[in-house]
Structures are given as structure tokens and as C-alpha cells.
Structure 1
Amino acid sequence: MVRSLWTAATGMIAQQTNLDTIANNLANVNTQGFKTQVNEFKTLLYQTLQTKTTTANGEQKPTSAQVGLGTRNSAITTIFKTGNMLASESDTAFAIDGKGFFAVRGADGNTYYTRDGNFVFSLASNGNMLANADGLPVLDTNGRPIILDQRYVVSEVTVTGDGLLCYPDEKNNPQPMGIRIGVFQFNNPNGLERLASSLYNQTAASGQPINEATNNDVEKSKILQNYLEGSNVQVVDEMVNMIVAQRAYELNSKAITTSDEMLQQANNLKR
């Protein structure tokens, strides 16, 4: 009975983490570029009570007697399914149709990756710099910030499907400017470290970033101007998952209550 108390407690702890993950998904249902997270569980060690079991006649049974010691969270997996494409009136709103990520330069000088393409042009010392909503510079295919001279009117800049920045000539025909927005892929995106503001950091598990502009062995992503990628959270699915998590939490709580009542009855047998 004491074992059942600890086993049910592990279930309550695991379901609490599961509920926290579901709540975070629902909280970010309107966050641009947000990706759903899913809890994964694994069993704890099994305690062997009896290696050989026999019938009343002394005949051996083919199975042993083992009792599990509960469960725990083994991982929280990110589902990198593409979210809905939302139309935007901003000329610096970009969505990625594919497996790629935009790259931005953090305040610490490191490179981070994101699916949130809600960019703006901000004033820099030597021109207008393309940056995200937090002011971090967006990087091109060479890993450098995208900065345009003051002679360019940023409202007239267009971007092709492969990320090339174009500016109209004297005949109002868009001409490539020789700058391409960097798009990068990872062999294992689930290995990326999730940070705040929809940013991801590469790790040893994710592998090195693959530059789509220089690698022909990957499926190219397409950049859509005047669109933003919405969250891929499915509210109905998350509500169902929440109900299941609540029921599992209640069942583990009931197991603790039942074990406590049985212990109380055992103690009262002396009286």
C-alpha cells in the first residue's frame, strides 16, 4: 500500500507537467510561428516480487510477478507542422512555406532561429536594418545583418519566393539587389533548444544549420511576402488533451486516497 502511494504520486506529478504543457500551448494559440508541444511518458523501474510463480498443485507458471513503480515525463516534443498562413498588410511580414527557419543575431552576438517572420525596417547607423519585433537584426544567407542604404525607399522593396530582395528600376520593374534573406534547416529540429520570443538555439542534438542557399540536397522553402505563419495549436485537440490529463490526475489522486483508507483500516485492526 505504501508502494501504491508513491506510484500514484508519480502519476500526479507527470500529469501536472502535462497540464502545464497543454496550458502553454493554449496560451500561445495566437503567437506567430509558435509550435505545439506534446508530453511523452515512460515507465519507472519494475520491482520483481517473485521470479517463479506456481499453481496450487506446484506447477510452474510461465510468468513472474512484477509491480511497476510509476511513471515520469521522458520528453516534451515539439510538433513542427506548418501553421496557417495569415494575410498581412505589412510589406515586411514573411512566412516560410517549408522546413526552414529565419536567422537573427542576438544581443549576445549568437545566432538564433525563428519561424516568426514579423519583421520591420529600423534605423541603423549606416542605413535601414531589417529586424524582428525585438529589434534583433535578421541575417542574410552569409550570416550578415540585412542593411539597406538611405537611398532606398524601404516601402518599395519586394521579396521573391527564394528570399531575394528586389527594388524597382526607372521602369518600375523589380530588380534583384544581391541580398537574400537567410533560410536554414536542421536535420533534427526537435533537438533545438526553445527560448523566449519564438526563438530557437542550435544544440548538438539538432546538428549544424543547413543553409538552403548553398545546399542543394535539401528541399527548398518558399518565402511568402505579406503573410505570417500562425500558431499550429489546435484548440479542440488541446481541450481534449486537457480533459484526459485532468481525469488521469483525478484517478491518481483517488488511488492515493484509497491507499490511505486501506492503511487506516489496517491500523485499526489492533483496536
Structure 2
Amino acid sequence: MLEGLYSAASGMEAQQQQFDAISNDMANMDTPGYQSTIVGFHDLLYSNGGYGSNVATGAGSAAAVVGRDQTQGELQTTGQPLDVALQGEGFIEVRRFDGSTGLTRNGRLQLNANRQLTTQEGMLVQPPVTIPAGVPLNQVSIASDGTISTAGKQVGKISLVDVPAPDGLVADGDSVFSATAASGAIRPAKNAALQQGALEASNVDLGAEMAKMETAQQEYAMGSQA
């Protein structure tokens, strides 16, 4: 009996993790470059039913974030000169406020008070790029390889990078990720390009998320009645 309760409880906890992932995905449907979460389930250890029993009892299931759906999001034209849509595999390298390195696909960029290129949250694009004073934004040109020019003169270059195993990245919020031992070290991206004046839309599929939510609710309800 206790084994059955443990199994139901672990199953409900797994579905709660699924709920959380779905809710986060749906909340980020309008976040440029956001990639939906992939949640996988696995069986917990089996144990014998007790002394003299040959019946193996399952301990339920557990959820684990497997990674991110790396399907390319739709490119949406904005006409904003500092917006860049990332195409292909890769990330824009940024520097967090604590000095550490972050990776993002959110190409909605802006200038800070020092006319340095930053994310909407204020994290500096790497390496630092400063747009000269007096240069209108409509005279800023960003090439597909990240090279930034004004009046035909190069003023900087956005670093496009990737990692050997993107599923090993850790999400830190604000669509920024950290490299880990599981992801491998950050390296220059070979298959990434930027499109100026556009943004990559989130690849969250609302219909698919609603279907997953309905399934998770049914599984959770079954567990609560066990």
C-alpha cells in the first residue's frame, strides 16, 4: 500500500514539473529567440514487495528537463536597426552584471548611456561595441557575421558562439544561458548568421503546449485519486 502511495506521489510531482515547464513556455511565447522546454520522464527504482515476495514494485516516475527545442523560430521583420535575428545554431555572447559570460538568442538590442550595445536587460554584448556619438541608428549596419559598421567604418563585431552540446546549457532567466561541463566550452559558431532589422520569434507552439497541459492534468488527477 505504501509503495502505491509513494508511486502516486512521485508521479504527481513529475506532472507538477511538467506544469511548471509548460507555464514557463507559455509565459515566454512573445520572448524573441525563446526555445521551448523538453521534459522527459523516467521510471524510478523498482523494489521487491517485501520479505518472501518476488513481486517488483515500481516507485513511480520522475521528470527531468531534457533540453530545449532547437527548432528555428520564425523570423519577423521589425525594421529596427538594432534588432538582429539569429539564424542557425548558435548564440549571441553577452556579459552579465557579475562579469560572467552568458549566451542568448534574444536579439532585441539597445544602446546604454555610454552608447554601448546591450540586451534589453542591460547586459553588454561581447566583445563590447560602442556606437560613436552623433551617429543615427539608421546609419548602423550589422552584417550577417556580426560585423557592425557606421558610415562604412567598422566599429565592432557581435560574437556568435555555440557549444558542443546545447542541451547541457543551464537557463538563468531572461533568455540567458550558462555553459557547463555537460554543454562543453563556448566556441565560435560555424553555422550562425544575423539578420538586421528582424527578430527570431519564440518557437513555442501554443496548441502543443495546451495538449501537453491537458495530458498532465489528467495524469495528475489520476495520481491524486490513488
**TM-score, with structure 2 as normaliser:** 0.92
Q: CA deviation at 1:176?
A: 4.8
Superposition pairs for residues 59-138 of structure 1, below 5 Å?
Answer: 65-124=55-114, 128-138=115-125
Q: Deviations over 1:43-65 (max 9, x none)?
A: 11112349x99xxxxxxxxxx63
1:164–1:176 CA contact under 8 A, matched in 2: no
SS at match of 1:21: helix
157-166 or 227-236, larger mean C-alpha shift: 157-166
SS at match of 2:99: coil
How many angstroms apart in 2 are the aligned matches of 1:186 and 1:48?
Answer: 43
How many angstroms apart in 2 are the aligned matches of 1:37 and 1:27?
Answer: 12
Q: CA deviation at 1:155?
A: 2.6
Match of 1:161 among 137, 141, 144: 144
Residue 36 of structure 1 is matched in structure 2 by 36
SS at match of 2:13: helix
Residue 11 of structure 1 is matched in structure 2 by 11
1:14–1:72 CA contact under 8 A, matched in 2: yes
Match of 1:147 among 130, 134, 151: 130
What is the aligned residue count? Answer: 226
Change (3 A) 1:2 1:110: closer
Q: Deviations over 1:89-138 (max 9, x none)?
A: 211000111111001111111111100010112331xxx21111122211
221-230 or 40-49, larger mean C-alpha shift: 40-49
Q: Deviations over 1:38-83 (max 9, x none)?
A: 2211111112349x99xxxxxxxxxx63221211123342212221
Structure 2, unaligned stretches of length 5 or more? none
* Counterpart code for 2:209: E
Structure 1, unaligned stretches of length 5 or more? 54-63, 169-174, 213-217, 256-271
How many angstroms apart in 2 are the aligned matches of 1:105 and 1:89?
Answer: 26
Residue 262 of structure 1 is matched in structure 2 by none
How many angstroms apart in 2 are the aligned matches of 1:47 and 1:111?
Answer: 44
SS at match of 1:123: coil
1:43–1:72 CA contact under 8 A, matched in 2: yes
* Counterpart code for 1:251: M
Q: Percent identity?
A: 29
How many angstroms apart in 2 are the aligned matches of 1:230 and 1:89?
Answer: 15
SS at match of 1:102: strand
* Counterpart code for 1:83: G
4+ runs deviating over 4 angstroms: none
Does residue 1:177 correspond to 2:154, yes or no? Answer: yes
1:121–1:154 CA contact under 8 A, matched in 2: no
How many angstroms apart in 2 are the aligned matches of 1:100 and 1:20?
Answer: 26
2:130–2:155 CA contact under 8 A, matched in 1: no
